[in-house]
Chain A
Amino acid sequence: MTERVLEASERTRAAKTRQRISVRPQSAKSKLAGSFHTPLWHRVAERLIAILALAAVLAIALIFVFIAREAVPMLWEAEFAEEVQIRDLFFAKEWKGYDEPVFIWQPVGEPAKFNVVPLFIGSLKVTLLAMLMSVPLGVGCAMFIALYAPRAVREVVKPVIELLAGIPSVVLGFFALMVLASWAQATFGFHFRLNAFVAAIGLALTIVPVIFTISEDAIQAVPSTLTEAALALGARKYQVALRVVLPAAIPGIAAGVVLGFGRAIGETMIVLMASGNAAIMELFDFSTSVRTVTATIAAELGEVAQGDPHWRVLFLLGVMLFGVTFVLNILGDLFIQRLQKRLTAS
């Protein structure tokens, strides 16, 4: 996961250098581009790098194919059809012993009830809550460090926040489970000791550094000419920060938020330990326990026999989770590109 953070900050840095390169005279470029005089090893190296880049894309495609291959047979397998109806995976049903149609995840029992809706609600609830906590915190922190903090403070605070990203999630989960949960229950009087709120705090601790690092880079990358011009026109410092620097840095900050979201929805260990893992169908109450998609896969995949309907449904969960993060990443990227275009055009 940290690679992704690095990769993103690398991207912003690359964007900066690109600007620099484009200022260079054209003659230098044409010399490089002429293929007649290019030494052989240049061409070999170019191919090699292209292959490496393609390998990453290929790996992702293969992972998707492998996960999907385990899930898709549910469409025609007799063993699956005997136990589960596909529509019950997504819609409420009035099971025997219940008074009304319900969304239930009870994969062990007769009949097994696999409804994925409460799991996705759980995942989204925890993730959104964690984003609500970490976006203001991460961006605020980044603005302070980039614009206000004296050098000495910056040099201590920045590495410390980035160190947070290095704490293994199992340690954060343990902390949330033992310390945060008791504190939250004593302070707010929650019915559930382990709940969405506690898990979200744990998650927020992991995504604050992601959002902070990328936002801070984006803010640093805002050309000083902009701030200097605004200051020269008599703007106050906070006006410069809020109306000049922040809007100019928004594409970078948005990239950080998208990455943070992906990290949060895919996080497993913290939610497995601190969320209580009860698949409760409840949209808004964040003091109830939740069961996330990731925690479900982690807790149950080891148990099932290969090819079992339960096994197929768990892989379906994996496919759906993959789909959600994939689509969100693409939407995020599109949004950022649009923003960038609008900002540079005006």
Chain B
Amino acid sequence: MVLAGALLASSCTSGKSRQEGDAPKETAQTRRSSTLTIKGSDTMVILAQNWAQAFMAANPGKVIQVSGGGSGTGMAALINGTADLANASRPIKDKERKQLAKRRDVEVEEFRVALDALAVYVPASNKIESLTIPQLKSIFRGQTTNWKDVGGEDKSIVLYSRENSSGTYAYFKEHVLEDEDFAATAQTLPGTAAVINAVSKDAGGIGYGGIAYAEGVRTVKVAPADGEPVEPTMENATSGKYPLSRFLKIYSAGKASGIAKEYLDYVLSDDGQKIVEGVGYYPLPKEATAAAE
């Protein structure tokens, strides 16, 4: 019943927005200048909430709403005009850029806001030291199915992945699987916390996610195809030695202005970057702080 209601509601809104065509260039941001809606990456949702709280404490009267759902959700919200900023743990896709240009007639602006080492988790009981990228690919493609084939004990591997709206999912698919498909047996869980919880309870489990969540599980060293195993530490992520280090990003539809601009300035300030460290991610290296790409 509820689902049907939701579908009904969303199809109504879609019909309306199409009738109005290119009229709705204004967003929530221009209508109410003191509220900001941010949607997107689950990897970044705790970080963004901390930023929002600190920002609101420093700027009374301004309201920031943060919600998760996945990087894809954030991009969809940006395209559909229901969010002002989108958190993303992956770069924007060409298709999304095109849709933004078509639907809302705006160019997207990208901000790098933090650094993350995408960690590979195994339960604490698993003694495996390191995995190479090709090994990881073979495991998540479903071609390697037993831990003994990658130097562990004789135990079958259970794959934990993320929902396909996740930026972490997309990043992993692109950089580890080289855009090939995950094994059909990979269980998809909503949110990194769910992955951590599942991996910690499953002796044969393996999962992946942002470094800030890695509690109750062990992170494995990851080696590039032709290199030494590297630990996902701040130094290795900053220097780019860790093969799965990535920037966490915020996208705005069109040039950020008003409260969105103030928020982004705060995020990139020293105070904002201190929060990054507090949450468990890594602050931006000094030279990359400027809006890039």
B187 at the binding interface (Cβ < 8 Å): yes
Q: Number of contacts between A and B (CB, 8 Å)?
A: 124
Chain B CB within 10 Å, residue with most, of A66, A300, A305: A305
Whether B181 pairs with A192 at a CB distance below 8 angstroms is no
Q: Provided the pairs A109-B173, A303-B70 are in contact, do residues A192 and B201 lie with their beta carbons within 8 angstroms?
A: no
Q: In the assembled complex, which residues on chain A have CB atoms less than 8 Å from the CB atom of B15? A: 69
Measured CA separation A240–B185 after assembly (Å): 50
Q: Provided the pairs A67-B7, A108-B173 are in contact, do residues A306 and B17 lie with their beta carbons within 8 angstroms?
A: yes
Instruction: Identify whether the interface residues of A are mostly helix, strand, loop, or mixed.
Output: loop
Q: How far is the CB of A150 from chain B (nearest CB, A)?
A: 38
Whether A66 pairs with B72 at a CB distance below 8 angstroms is no
Q: In the assembled complex, which residues on chain A have CB atoms less than 8 Å from the CB atom of B189? A: 276-277
Q: Provided the pairs A97-B181, A109-B181 are in contact, do residues A306 and B190 lie with their beta carbons within 8 angstroms?
A: no
Instruction: Identify whether the interface residues of B are mostly helix, strand, loop, or mixed.
Output: helix
Whether A305 pairs with B181 at a CB distance below 8 angstroms is no
Whether A277 pairs with B187 at a CB distance below 8 angstroms is yes
A271-295 interface bits toward B, Cβ cutoff 8 Å, 1 = contact, 0 = none: 0100011111100000011010010
Q: In the assembled complex, which residues on chain A have CB atoms less than 8 Å from the CB atom of B182? A: 106
A118 at the binding interface (Cβ < 8 Å): yes
Q: In the assembled complex, which residues on chain B have CB atoms less than 8 Å from the CB atom of A125? A: none
B176-202 interface bits toward A, Cβ cutoff 8 Å, 1 = contact, 0 = none: 000111101111111000000010011
Q: Could you list which residues of chain B lie within 8 angstroms of chain A, going by C-beta atoms?
A: 1, 3-4, 6-8, 10-12, 14-15, 17-18, 69-70, 72-73, 75-76, 79-80, 96, 99, 103, 156, 158, 163-165, 169-170, 173, 179-182, 184-190, 198, 201-202, 204-205
Measured CA separation A113–B103 after assembly (Å): 25
Q: In the assembled complex, which residues on chain B have CB atoms less than 8 Å from the CB atom of A108? A: 72, 164-165, 169-170, 173
Whether A305 pairs with B99 at a CB distance below 8 angstroms is yes
Q: In the assembled complex, which residues on chain A have CB atoms less than 8 Å from the CB atom of B75? A: 305
Q: In the assembled complex, which residues on chain A have CB atoms less than 8 Å from the CB atom of B18? A: 307
Whether B187 pairs with A294 at a CB distance below 8 angstroms is no
Whether B69 pairs with A278 at a CB distance below 8 angstroms is no
Measured CA separation A300–B79 after assembly (Å): 16
Known: A277-B188, A303-B70. 13 other contacts (CB 8 A): A67-B8, A69-B15, A95-B181, A97-B180, A106-B164, A106-B181, A106-B182, A108-B173, A276-B189, A299-B165, A306-B17, A306-B79, A315-B7
A194 at the binding interface (Cβ < 8 Å): yes
Q: How far is the CB of B10 from chain A (nearest CB, A)?
A: 8
Q: Could you list which residues of chain A lie within 8 angstroms of chain B, going by C-beta atoms?
A: 1, 62-63, 66-67, 69-70, 95, 97, 104, 106-110, 113, 118, 182, 191-194, 266, 268, 272, 276-281, 288-289, 291, 294, 297-308, 315, 318
The residue on B at minimum CB distance from A103 is B184
Q: How far is the CB of B145 from chain A (nearest CB, A)?
A: 10
Q: In the assembled complex, which residues on chain B have CB atoms less than 8 Å from the CB atom of A104? A: 181, 184
The residue on B at minimum CB distance from A279 is B184
Q: Contact partner of B73 among A62, A302, A308, CB < 8 A?
A: A302
Measured CA separation A315–B72 after assembly (Å): 18
Q: In the assembled complex, which residues on chain A have CB atoms less than 8 Å from the CB atom of B80? A: 305-306
